[in-house]
Chains A and B, each alone.
Chain A
């Protein structure tokens, strides 16, 4: 089962939905078989095996009454499942905004601050998480199949999704509302962590990006600054404070690149820097083909140090 399946659940909501899916699929199958059998009998029957009265009784009971009862039961049985789970007082609030074609993520801290990240959502197991979902440009939809159902991200609105993870692991989510050229290339990693490990990780995220120590990384940092990368991307603790693209402060802790589409590696980083429009059609990041390949690689090496 893949990391993005609605059946490999790690959340309370998704597990309920999986059970509902199985229940409804089995009942649907039974109903289909009954209807098919009735059709077969009907075709094979001789003339007037059931008369007018018998036929009308069939329509009344099998066509109207039984379906009404079954549907009423389904409605009453599933209405409570629509009630969202309560967000606890200690719920972790995570802001996620959809952008063409990546995810802006912010973890609210108890002191009222926000820790900015991108394209990866980490949540503690067992604690309710209160996602606040919005959109920067067009409509997107926030969907982590293993955790809960999807909720749209609509410009001008803030939607909420309250969820609780039950099992640690690495999962995947994806944009589910068509949002433009690279809609297919807008995914993200989801990491459900042991609460203590999560707190440690969050603490690390609060700190500024590590300063480059090796000469090559230092050269990369300089190239990053000279080429204006900071106009769009932020690296905490440096002058780069752009908000147009994803935050890079701890980019190297993520395992994928380009919103969950390619593995994090120096080669892929270089490819993305030089040819973003072909890796991700419609992305706002321009191609940097005028940079020497060596310079591109150097910037990639610098980014790899941003743990």
Chain B
């Protein structure tokens, strides 16, 4: 196909007809919800997260009403505790993080000129999980069983079943479920950014939004799993009485605080960086020039991401840790202000060097930065430990964190809403209403939260349902209450503006005259995403590349057709975005929804202690996942296809060249991080106890023998898997199958050998934390061996069914990645439980 082939209007119309047919959304009252297209799933996701934000906002308004005057009795202490717990938890888990993922699912394919993300069904699964988990957690307040232990859920208050009821389980299990969906979205976004860029979009030309998404998704990968590990320990204590946080039996409440804040602090940056990413798109557009200092922004994003993992103890400054430990975290907390300062000055410099076109989105950005800078400065203040000892857990912190989150998450999102609404709906929002809303929000936010700095220093702690008049903070509290209702009025104006949108006329294409790829979107958008995948030569191709829009529209770039009637997008190399493969994307299916429902049932039924039903749910989940996987990595009807301009790309790749391999690798990184959280627990207990492991009946074990046997067996099964992969690639399919069968048996044996140590030594997990943590590590590793067995059986079945051959070996390459991690997990676990006791 040459450049001129696309001159033929009839050809173009035929291509468009085929694309339209391929990308046609499912219809029908039920089946329309089985759609997996990123535009639609992203929209559902965004609206749901927005709804949860409004819900959580109303909870805050009730709290502010209660605190308007001293000694008020509008709500009871119990209700108030549920309100603030749910407000914080929902804003973090059901709004800020999912909102970033939702917006990214909509925007990322457009920014990258891809037809869709690599795993559309995974996005749909993430959405349904989010919806189920979110409704479960949020709905609990209507039954007066909402969690009431604070969003940080500190044990032992929350692990004691006599003090904290069902709400604690709802929090733990409902939100664990959502954490799973967050990790799923992170996998999708990382692979999307690394592999789905258009040809020519090397790393140095990537839109800054994509850089931030990459960084944030990687952060999720390392931040969420420690919390999942904490959740596991937490529920083991609540449901089975394993005393991880019970000091009477050797546990320590501080372990939870470590695991929670290793998640909790990066979390702040996880919700903040995507907003900076929106700034990085909006500021150049309204400065009408390239962003200045592109590498500096990347420095800032990556630097912040790293440093944010060295801050967690600053939430624990008052816990009595050695001052020098605190000082390390104090230092890192101050250092993290440097990359943040860089980001802000990049925007100042860009605005300075450009010609500023004032607009509603830019107004939101600037207002947000003003608010954020105040939050950042108070953040530096609380990084100084002596000051934090006063400010910690007072309204000063409430003020600080709301300045950070309103300036660093909420207002930028509103700015992004006004900026990207035309991209998504083809219509602009009202500038007048937008600006009115902005000023109400701006005044409201400051009136609500500025007085709280003083309220806190005057001695008002956080999380109090009432306060006495003698504190002398009634005036300040009343001001905060008035401000909060003002702020709500601002949100209401935005909601009205959104509600009026369907009646408005379409806006012109690219209404802000932006230069980045996503503004190719046509007001009457088609579901195929992009007409042809462009060749990128600039960071701002619409500004810089000649006839760019027309060429894309006329299908003059790559992949302008869907000859085989399949949904497709181009995979390129990570560094230089050289075309590498065409992948076939998942089509609308009910499977993601079924999987989400099944997995959700496991978490929800466990909350109500219906263990047998939950087990049934787990089996159903496994079945759904296997059915789902069976359709993936399909062997194409031909080895390769042309994408235009003489480029022919393979339709099947395996190993590191394929997105599926990366998804497995990334998922296993998250899994390994969760595991390291548990291992941290083991050694943490070692540091807090003078004698660890302890000795005595029920506490002696598991010995070295069985752990070493289990380790050896796991290594054998790993070796057979690697060997099977090699033999399969060399065409010795029969031998590979035999090795896989052997490996399967050995993995199964390693599972039992791993459990044999604690079992035969009668370690009693309810007795003391040592047996409990040993059992936990052993079970974790055994469960992974169990999954390994399933992986090997699955691969064997694929081979026997002819869905895996010696050339088409993605399955065995992917499970080999799993086995690398399994071997690592086994080595660490069995060395820890089997060898460390004799070494220490």
Contact = CB atoms under 8 A, between A and B. Distances in A.
Chain A in direct contact with chain B (Cβ < 8 angstroms): yes
Interface of A: 1-7, 13-14, 16-17, 20-21, 24-25, 28, 31-32, 35-36, 38-39, 41-52, 54-56, 58-59, 62-64, 67-68, 71, 74-75, 78-79, 81-84, 100, 133, 137-139, 141, 143, 145, 148-152, 154-157, 159-160, 172, 174-185, 261, 281-282
Contacts, number: 264
A21 B457 contact: yes
B27 to A, nearest CB: 48
A100 B157 CA distance: 10
A14 B457 CA distance: 11
A152 B156 contact: no
A182 B77 contact: yes
Contacts of B351: 39, 42-43, 45
A172 B388 CA distance: 19
Interface residues of B, number: 84
B522 interface: no
Contacts of A31: 373, 377
Interface string B334-368: 11011001111110111111111010000000100
B352 A49 contact: yes
A261 B468 contact: yes
Contacts of A184: 77, 461, 463-467
B352 A42 contact: yes
Looking at B370, B385, B464, the one whose CB has the most chain A CB atoms below 10 A away is B464
B759 interface: no
B834 to A, nearest CB: 28
A17 B157 contact: no
Given A14-B390, A177-B393, A181-B77, A42 B349 contact: yes
Looking at B296, B386, B459, the one whose CB has the most chain A CB atoms below 10 A away is B459
B81 A181 contact: yes
Contacts of A74: 334, 380, 384
A281 B77 contact: yes
B3 to A, nearest CB: 34
Nearest to B76: A281
Given A21-B390, A63-B343, 18 more contacts: A2-B458, A2-B471, A4-B458, A16-B386, A17-B389, A28-B378, A46-B355, A50-B349, A52-B292, A64-B345, A67-B341, A71-B338, A78-B384, A100-B163, A137-B156, A172-B459, A177-B318, A184-B463
B293 A82 contact: no
A59 B345 contact: yes
Given A52-B292, A71-B334, A156 B247 contact: yes
B373 A32 contact: yes
Contact of B345 (A3, A63, A139, A281): A63
A150 B393 contact: yes
A177 B326 CA distance: 19
A43 B356 contact: yes
A82 B327 CA distance: 8
Given A137-B156, A174-B461, A157 B331 contact: no
Given A54-B353, A139-B156, A71 B380 contact: yes
Nearest to A84: B323
Interface in B429-464: 457-459, 461-464
Contacts of B465: 184
A32 B341 CA distance: 12
Contact of B293 (A39, A56, A84, A150): A56
B472 interface: yes
18 contacts: A4-B471, A5-B458, A32-B373, A36-B370, A36-B373, A39-B370, A47-B354, A50-B349, A58-B348, A59-B296, A63-B344, A79-B330, A138-B156, A138-B157, A159-B320, A178-B149, A180-B81, A185-B466
B338 A17 contact: no
Contacts of A17: 386-387, 389-390
Contacts of A55: 292-293, 349-350, 352-353
A47 to B, nearest CB: 4
B247 A59 contact: no
B319 interface: yes
Contacts of B252: 156-157
A148 B349 contact: no
Contacts of A159: 319-320
Nearest to B346: A59
Nearest to A79: B327
B472 A59 contact: no
A4 B616 CA distance: 56
B381 interface: yes
Contact of A58 (B288, B345, B473): B345
Nearest to A171: B459
A141 B149 CA distance: 15
Nearest to A28: B377
Contact of B163 (A138, A143, A176): A138
A3 B468 CA distance: 12
B338 A64 contact: yes
B472 A281 contact: no
B346 A63 contact: yes
Contacts of B76: 281
A148 B389 contact: yes
A181 B463 CA distance: 10
B374 interface: yes
Contacts of B335: 71
A16 B390 CA distance: 11
Contacts of B461: 143, 174-176, 183-184
B323 A83 contact: yes
A84 B323 CA distance: 8
Given A5-B459, A28-B378, A155-B253, A67 B337 contact: yes
B653 interface: no
A55 B373 CA distance: 20
A58 B348 CA distance: 9
Nearest to B160: A138
A64 B154 CA distance: 37
B457 A6 contact: yes
Nearest to B466: A184
Looking at A31, A55, A185, the one whose CB has the most chain B CB atoms below 10 A away is A55
B374 to A, nearest CB: 6
